[in-house]
Structure 1
């Protein structure tokens, strides 16, 4: 059974103000939408604001969401890994009714965290069968 994975991506950069951070999120959104296997991607609307987050222009600052098949999560992760040089990226992944959060401030950290997330999702998939 193939399941879709819901991914929240949060850009973290204390050197950027809210407007610049949101512009960076919009740029990342355009790129994420172009990744093969991403079914949907969008900024997170203010109605969905996580506790402690800021909103700007109707959207949560620096936060976007994507839906991708479990099989293509690695492809999205590889794409993101190549773009986080010098940036901190937080990512939460929800699949099979469960959620895992990962974070990386370097390509190596993010790749390791993504590998662990993929292993966890595979384990959840096996438990559901």
Structure 2
């Protein structure tokens, strides 16, 4: 990761979905984010200790996605996520300048507030 880039971890927390459904959510978002020119890198988070016989998630932590974006493009990515993830229970963790901010959202309104908090964190 470049020192000037931000790292964003997106965790899907929907208790109504099983691990296969969470994995499908992550796969859909992964494909959509890969199409964005503003994002430097996006990938699944490897599971350092996958369960024996694990086949559904392929050695990745279920429900997690890691994106790397420049500070200049962070706001665009946040807008994209707001459009795609509104109403879904998620947790965002932003890492910038050696500091981390973790926010949770369970509704479109909470996601908007979480995105605003993340943008302020990155800006200041």
Fold conserved (TM > 0.5)? yes
Aligned to 2:17: 16
Aligned CA-pair RMSD: 1.9
Q: SS at the partner of 1:47?
A: coil
Structure 2 runs not aligned, ≥5 long:
51-55
Decide whether the 8 Å contact of 2:88 with 2:108 is kept in 1: no
Moved over 6 A (4+): none
Q: How many residues align?
A: 117
Matched, 1:77 2:78: yes
Aligned to 1:62: 63
The CA distance in 1 between the partners of 2:15 and 2:41, in whole Å, is: 28
Q: SS at the partner of 1:6?
A: strand
The CA distance in 1 between the partners of 2:9 and 2:49, in whole Å, is: 12
Moved more, 113-122 or 9-18: 113-122
Offset of residue 35 of structure 1: 2.2
Aligned to 1:31: 32
The CA distance in 1 between the partners of 2:106 and 2:65, in whole Å, is: 18
Q: SS at the partner of 1:87?
A: coil
The CA distance in 2 between the partners of 1:74 and 1:62, in whole Å, is: 23
Aligned to 2:53: none
Cα distance change on mapping 1:110 and 1:86 into 2, 3 Å: closer
Decide whether the 8 Å contact of 1:46 with 1:59 is kept in 2: yes
Structure 1 runs not aligned, ≥5 long:
50-54, 124-129
